[in-house]
Structure 1
Amino acid sequence: MSAPKTFINDNFLLQNKYAEELYHNYASSLPIIDYHCHLPPQDIANNRSFDNISQIWIHGDHYKWRAMRTLGVNETFITGSASDEEKFLQWGKTVPYTMRNPLYHWTHLELLRYYNIDTLLNEKTAPEIYKTASDILKTDAYSCQNILNKMNVEVVCTTEDPLDTLEFHQQYAKNENKKTYMSTSFRPDKAIFIDTESYNDYIDALEKVTNSEIKTYDALCDALKNRISYFNDNGCKLSDHGLNAIPFVNFTEAEIKTIFAKRRNKEAISQLESLKFQTALLLFLAETYHEFGWVQQFHLGALRNNNARMLTQLGPDTGWDSIGDFSQAENLSKFLNTLDTKDKLAKTILYNLNPADNEVLATMIGNFNDGSVKGKVQFGSGWWFLDQKDGMTKQLNALSNMGLISCFIGMLTDSRSFMSFPRHEYFRRIVCNLFGEEIEKGELPNDMEWIGKMVQGISYYNAKDYFNFPSK
C-alpha cells in the first residue's frame, strides 16, 4: 500500500523514558481480565468465525454509527441494507474526520494489533484494508476463542438477564482446551423498572423460568433469589445495574407489597410508588449479592433513548444515548449506608457517566471502605463516553487525589466487539504516562521497582485478587 503509515508506534502515548520503562517492563505483557463486557457468549462458546471485518468491527458499534451519522452518511450504510463492504467503505471515508475523537486512536490501534495493518484508514485505503483484514478473519487463527488467546485475555465476563439459561456458558465450561475463562454478570434491571409498559410480560417470563407463580412481592424476591442461586451455581460472581441514579425513597414493607400487587393487576402506579418499589427491590438484591459473596456494579448517569423517532425505527442501543446530569450523591450515600448499617454491603464498583461526578464518587467510596477488604468499594474506570484519554485521565486523577490509586482494579471494555481489547493497552499506556510524567517532574521518586509494582496492580493484579476468578 502506498499510503501514509500509522502513527501508532512502540511508545505511543508514552511521553518520556520513565513512562516507556513502566509500560514495556511492567505493564505490556500482563494478561487481561475483562470483568465487564457485552460480548455474545454464544459466539465464544461456538467459536464463531467472521466472514469480514464489518461483522466484527462495525455491526453493533454505535460509537462508529454516531460518527458516520454526524458526517452525513445515510443510515442505509450504517444499520441498513447496504452490503458489509459498502458499510466498511463508508466507515473508511469517515475515519479521517474522527481525528481527536478516541475512535481515531482505537481504529488504528486495533488494525495494527489484530491484523498488523500499519496503514492509515481512509477512503483510498479502505478497499484494500477491507480485503486484507477480511481474508485474515476467515482463517482458523481468528475464530473468537483464538482472538481471545491472541489478545491475552485471561478472563472475559459477559452480561446476562435473569431469564437467560446460561446454556452457552455451560457449553463453553465443558471445553477442556479453553485458555480464557468466561463468566457472566447478573443484570436484573427489567425486574426493577416496574413502571415500564412491558413489566408484566417480563414477570410472566420470569414465572416460566422459575416454574413459579409471581403474584406477590415475596414471590418476586424468591424468584430473583432463585435465579441468583442458578447464576452462582454456573460460576457468576458479579451483578450489574444500569441506572440513571440510585433510587432511595423511604418505604414500608406493606407499601411495597401493595405497589407490586397493583402493577400485577395492571393498575396504574405513581412515580413515587415506582421509586419506593425500586428502592426496596434494589436493597433486597444488594443484600442477596452480599449473601452470595458477589461483587455489585452500578453504572450511573446515562440518559438513554433521546431520539424517539430513531428509537421507534431502530430500537435501543443504536446510538441515541448521551450523558445525563442526574443528582447522584445523597441517594447513593443513603443506599450504601443502609446496607453497611446491616453489615450487608458487598464489594461494590461505582461508575459515573457524567465527569462532573468524578469527585463525588471518588470521595463516596472512602465513606464505606472500612478496612475489611482492600479496595472494597471502587470508583470504576471511565466508561462509554469517558473511556478515552481525557476521561480516563480525569478519573485517574480524581481517584489519586481523593483515594488510593494503588488499590484500583483498572480497566474493562464494556464492549460488544471482539476488537475492543486494545482498550486495555490504551489504558495501561495512559496510566504509565501519568506516573512517568510525575517522576520526570520530581513529583514522585525514581523508584521504578515500587511504582512498577503499582502499575502492575492497577493493570492486572488488583482485579485478579478482587474477583478471584479461576484461571480458566
Structure 2
Amino acid sequence: MSQSIASHPDRLLPADPGTRSIARSLLERVQDLPIISPHGHVDAAVIEHNTAFPDPAALLVSPDHYVTRLIHASGVDQDLLRPQTGAKGDPNAVPDARTVWREFCKAWPLFEGTASGYWLRTQFQSVFGLREEPDAGNPDASYDAISARLQEPGFRPRELFKDFNIEVLATTDDPLDSLSSHQAIAADPSFHGRVLPTFRPDQYLNIAHPQWQDNVERLIAAAGDGGTGYGAYITALENRRRYFVDNGAVSADHGVRTPRTLKLSDSEAARLFDTARSGKATAQDREDFEAHMMYQMARMSVEDGLVMTIHPGSFRNHHEPTFNTYGADSGHDIPFAIDYTEAVRPLLQDFGAAKDFHLVLFTMDETVFSRELAPLAGFYPSVFLGAPWWFLDAPDAMLRFRSAVTETAGFSRSSGFIDDTRAFCSIPARHDASRRIEASFLARLVAEHRVTEERAHELIVDIVDGSPRRVFKL
C-alpha cells in the first residue's frame, strides 16, 4: 500500500544497501534532535491563543500555494479550492470546506513524486493518524477523520509545538507590529519553547508596493524623530529594528525581486525618497532606491546584530487575473534567473568582513549554487548559504545543492535547514526530509572514502543543530 511509504524507515535514503546502512546510522544520530526553525511564516497568534485548527480544507489545501497551484494546473477552477460563504454570508453557498476537500482528494494522484506529496503523506500518517490516504473514493471519510483529530484537546498548537519537538520557531512580522503575541508567549511560564519575531520591511522599502507611501507615513509617525524626510525614515527603521531586537528577534528578512545593492550618498537617497513620495519615481528610481535600502539594511545589521537574510528571484503575481481575484501568495509566483556576484558587491565591499555580521543568501536559481554562492560563502566571513528554498526545498534539489556547494564552501558555511512554511503541521515532515537527505549525502561520501564515518557523525550533528544556532545567533 502507498500508505507504507510514509512510514518506511528507509524513505529518501540511498538505494544501494551498503550506503543505505551508513545513512541509517547517521540519521539515527540526529533523528531526535530538537527542531530549530529560524525562518517561517506561522502566525505567532496561533501559538499565543492555542485555538483549535480549522477544518481540513482551510488547514491543508486553501492556504497552501504548493497545493493549489498544481491542482489549478490540471484545469480545476481556483474558486473550487477556497471555501466560500457567499456574498451575504450564505452558509449554503458552494464550495464549502467539504467540497474543497473533495476536489483535493480527486487531485491527490497529481502529487506523486512532488515534495508536497511527500510532506502531506507524512502528515496524514504521523500527525493525523489516517489509516488510508485521501483519494477520490474516500473524501468524506478522510475529511471526518482529520476533523475529529482537529477537535481533540491535545491537538492544539502549543501541544503540537511540544510533540513536534520544536525548540525555536521564528515568525515573519511587519515592522509596525506590536509583537504583543510574542510578548505574551515570552511571559508565559507554562510555555517552554522560543517563538521569535523576524523584521520583514519589504513593503516599507519597495517603492513599487501599492501601499508604500501610506506605510512610510505610518512608519515615520510611529517611530521617527519628529522629522518628515528621508532622515526620519531611516531613524524610524532603526528604531523599529531595535524594538524587534528588544523583543527577541535575531534576524531581518528581505523578500526582494533581485539581490542588487547600491550605496548612494544621503543627498541622492533623499532625492529619490522625495521623488517617490511625490508619485513621480521612474522604474529605475524604484530599483535604485530599493537597492540602496538593501545596503542600508546591511549597515543596520552590522550595528544592531540582526542576521540579514535575502530571498530574491521570484516573479511575484505572474498571472494578473489570479492576483486581482485572490491576491498575493496564491500560487503563481515564478522563479527567474538572478545574478549574485555583482549584485551584492557594493554591500560586501563595506560589510563582507564586518565583525559579527551574518548575511544569509537564498536562491531559487540553482545555477548560482556552485558558480556564485559557494565561492562567495567560501571567501567572505559574513556570507552563509541559505538552504534550498521554495521550489528547491525538495529531496533531489536538496541533494543537488549539497553536491554543488560542498566542494567549494564545505559544510560550515551553510545555514542549516529552513522550512519557510505557513503550514504548521508540516514542520516535522520537512525537517525529517532534510535530515534524511543530509544523511544520504554524507553516507555517499563515507562509502566513497572521502569522509570517515566518525567525521560524518560529527558533521551531521553540526549541519542539523550547530549551523542554525551559529548562523542565526541562537
Task: Indicate whether the TM-score tops 0.5.
Answer: yes
What does 1:235-250 correspond to in 2, within 5 Å? 235-249=248-262
- Tell me the alpha carbon deviations over residues 17-46 of structure 1, each in whole angstroms, 9 at most, x when there is no partner: 11111112x111000000000111111111
**Could you tell me which residue of structure 2 aligns to residue 437 of structure 1?**
444
Q: 1:97 to 1:400 in 2, by over 3 A?
A: same
What does 1:294-309 correspond to in 2, within 5 Å? 294-309=306-321
**Could you tell me which residue of structure 2 aligns to residue 77 of structure 1?**
80
1:225 and 1:288 in contact (8 A); partners too: yes
CA distance in 1 between counterparts of 2:287 and 2:65 reads: 30
Tell me by how many angstroms 1:309 deviates.
1.0
**1:23 matched to 2:27:** yes
Tell me by how many angstroms 1:270 deviates.
2.5
**Could you tell me which residue of structure 2 aligns to residue 339 of structure 1?**
351
**1:137 matched to 2:159:** no
SS at match of 1:159: coil
SS at match of 1:329: coil
Tell me by how many angstroms 1:233 deviates.
0.9
Match of 1:387 among 393, 406, 416: 393
**Could you tell me which residue of structure 2 aligns to residue 14 of structure 1?**
13
CA distance in 2 between counterparts of 1:164 and 1:267 reads: 26
**Could you tell me which residue of structure 1 aligns to residue 213 of structure 2?**
200
CA distance in 1 between counterparts of 2:139 and 2:447 reads: 41
In the superposition, the TM-score normalised over structure 1's length comes to 0.92
CA distance in 2 between counterparts of 1:5 and 1:276 reads: 52
**1:426 matched to 2:438:** no
Match of 2:270 among 257, 262, 276: 257
**Could you tell me which residue of structure 2 aligns to residue 275 of structure 1?**
287
2:40 and 2:170 in contact (8 A); partners too: yes
* Root mean square deviation of aligned Cα: 1.9
Q: 1:267 to 1:300 in 2, by over 3 A?
A: closer
Tell me by how many angstroms 1:409 deviates.
3.1
1:89 and 1:123 in contact (8 A); partners too: yes
SS at match of 1:378: strand
Tell me by how many angstroms 1:411 deviates.
0.7
Match of 2:361 among 350, 361, 365: 350
Comparing 181-190 with 205-214, greater Cα deviation is found at 205-214
What does 1:144-155 correspond to in 2, within 5 Å? 144-155=157-168
SS at match of 1:362: helix
Q: 1:250 to 1:205 in 2, by over 3 A?
A: closer
- Tell me the alpha carbon deviations over residues 66-103 of structure 1, each in whole angstroms, 9 at most, x when there is no partner: 01101222222212522222212211211112212222
Per chain length, whose mean CA-contact separation is higher, i.e. which structure has more relative contact order (CA < 8 Å, sep 6+)?
Answer: 1
CA distance in 2 between counterparts of 1:294 and 1:267 reads: 32
- What letter matches 2:307 in structure 1? V
**Could you tell me which residue of structure 2 aligns to residue 321 of structure 1?**
333
Tell me by how many angstroms 1:51 deviates.
3.8
- What letter matches 1:184 in structure 2? P
Tell me by how many angstroms 1:247 deviates.
2.4
Q: 1:17 to 1:340 in 2, by over 3 A?
A: closer
**1:404 matched to 2:410:** yes
- Tell me the alpha carbon deviations over residues 358-395 of structure 1, each in whole angstroms, 9 at most, x when there is no partner: 121111112312xxxxxx42111111100001211111
Match of 1:463 among 434, 458, 468: 468
Q: 1:78 to 1:233 in 2, by over 3 A?
A: same
SS at match of 1:239: strand
Structure 1 unaligned spans of 5+: 370-375
1:93 and 1:123 in contact (8 A); partners too: yes
Tell me by how many angstroms 1:215 deviates.
2.4
Comparing 252-261 with 460-469, greater Cα deviation is found at 460-469
CA distance in 2 between counterparts of 1:267 and 1:94 reads: 46
CA distance in 1 between counterparts of 2:227 and 2:66 reads: 39
CA distance in 1 between counterparts of 2:468 and 2:263 reads: 35
- Tell me the alpha carbon deviations over residues 150-189 of structure 1, each in whole angstroms, 9 at most, x when there is no partner: 1111000001111111111111111111132100110111
Q: 1:272 to 1:159 in 2, by over 3 A?
A: same
CA distance in 2 between counterparts of 1:196 and 1:4 reads: 45
SS at match of 2:46: helix
Comparing 108-117 with 332-341, greater Cα deviation is found at 332-341
Q: 1:162 to 1:214 in 2, by over 3 A?
A: farther
2:58 and 2:83 in contact (8 A); partners too: no
**1:53 matched to 2:56:** yes
Tell me by how many angstroms 1:468 deviates.
4.0
CA distance in 2 between counterparts of 1:412 and 1:420 reads: 13
Aligned length: 456
1:108 and 1:118 in contact (8 A); partners too: no
2:62 and 2:68 in contact (8 A); partners too: no
Tell me by how many angstroms 1:344 deviates.
6.5
SS at match of 1:367: coil
SS at match of 2:104: helix
**Could you tell me which residue of structure 1 aligns to residue 245 of structure 2?**
232
In the superposition, the TM-score normalised over structure 2's length comes to 0.91
Q: 1:206 to 1:90 in 2, by over 3 A?
A: same
- What letter matches 1:263 in structure 2? A
Tell me by how many angstroms 1:451 deviates.
1.1
Tell me by how many angstroms 1:434 deviates.
1.2
**Could you tell me which residue of structure 2 aligns to residue 373 of structure 1?**
none
Tell me by how many angstroms 1:208 deviates.
3.7
Tell me by how many angstroms 1:316 deviates.
0.8
Q: 1:338 to 1:345 in 2, by over 3 A?
A: farther
CA distance in 2 between counterparts of 1:35 and 1:214 reads: 35
- Tell me the alpha carbon deviations over residues 407-449 of structure 1, each in whole angstroms, 9 at most, x when there is no partner: 533112111111221100000001101112332344433x2x3
CA distance in 1 between counterparts of 2:214 and 2:99 reads: 39
Tell me by how many angstroms 1:198 deviates.
2.4
Match of 2:45 among 42, 45, 65: 42
- Percent identity of paired positions between Structure 1 and Structure 2: 23
CA distance in 2 between counterparts of 1:443 and 1:126 reads: 49
CA distance in 2 between counterparts of 1:462 and 1:197 reads: 37
- Tell me the alpha carbon deviations over residues 237-296 of structure 1, each in whole angstroms, 9 at most, x when there is no partner: 1000011222234533211112212222x2412233333322332222211111112211
CA distance in 1 between counterparts of 2:212 and 2:3 reads: 53
**1:451 matched to 2:450:** no
**Could you tell me which residue of structure 2 aligns to residue 172 of structure 1?**
185
